[in-house]
Amino acid sequence: MATLKELATTQAEKFVGGHTSCAGCGYPNIFRLTLAAIKDPVVVVGATGCCEVNTSIFPYTSWKAPFLHNAFENSAATCSGVEAAYYSMVKSGKLAANNTRFIAFGGDGGTYDIGLQSLSGALERGHDMLYICYDNGAYMNTGIQRSGATPRYANTTTAPVGKVVPGKMQKKKDLAKIMVGHNVPYVAQTIAGNWKDLTNKVEKATAIRGPKFIVVLAACPLGWQTKTQDTVRLTQLAVESCFWPLYEVENGKYKLNDNPEAKGKKIPVADWLKMQGRFKHLFKPGGEKLLAEIQAEVDKDWNDLKALCEFHSKQE
């Protein structure tokens, strides 16, 4: 796999500065690293959201690759249509094959929720495309409303903390496992705070024919109520607390890419939560029970994932 220096120097960047993202926003790093890891020609599709609003305000653009903006809910459908058109034109002799890669980006609102139907359909049909979800845990672009990706007890504008309800009451949806259920050849979970893990997974995904899916945790200083300089460290702490494990599933087989517990670096999930203003109510008197509940959920999910990875490791 390429080094960071090689990624930066072997080709012209396909995603450049000049966008209007907030200071400390997590997704631009995801885009830049993803596209740097792809040496072939690429077509990018982006759902409505921070991605489109900040990177393609006419007459300016941060894209140095073909970029299609589409509605909030149909990034995967649009990308699958472009992919189908490409292969149809190649087959009919109207276009020379050039190993073009097709990438769809969507936030968690446009992926976990209102875009899930089009994503599920594209994966089930078997289109040769990579879908990448930048998961910042809410509909950040439209006012920090809760989404299926919002963690339990986070404070959002549509699930606010009050005297009775301590934020969002439902557990975060496990989207990676839902994607595994589509029997696609490759699914992965990663962070931009580990550039090598992210680029390795993008390289692996684009080398595989068929539908692929990667979900990347993306910090949002505005919605998470965090310091801009903590963006990278926040995603790393999510991994170290085992709230957001780094793993991949290739042809149905789970593989753990990092094990903080085995390295003696596993931290309490509270160490990650306390850096975020959206969870500040959990650290007031009475929040101890809620923190214990979150820790128990994280531990159970982590142990379940380890068991899956260990099972498939023994099958090899």
Mean pLDDT computed over 250-262: 97
Coil vs helix vs strand at 278: helix
Predicted confidence (pLDDT) per residue in 191-200, tens digit: 999 999 999 9
pLDDT tens track for 100-126: 999 999 999 999 999 999 999 999 999
Q: Which helix (H) or strand (E) holds 88?
A: helix 75-91
Per-residue pLDDT at 58:
86
Residue with tokens 């595994």: 180
* Beta carbons within 8 Å of 200's beta carbon, 6+ residues apart: 1
Overall pTM > 0.85: yes
Kindly tell me if the per-residue pLDDT of 9 is higher than 80.
Answer: no
Domains annotated for the chain, with CATH where assigned, are: 4-315 (3.40.50.970)
Q: Is 142 exposed, middle or buried (0-12, 13-18, 19+ CB in 10 A)?
A: middle
Which pLDDT score, from 0 to 100, does residue 8 have? 55
Query: How many angstroms separate the CA atoms of 248 and 176, rounded?
Result: 9
On whether the CB atoms of residues 81 and 127 are closer than 8 A, the answer is no
Q: Which two tokens stand for residue 126?
A: 């078997």
**Residue from 165, 125, 157, 163 nearest 140 by CA:** 157
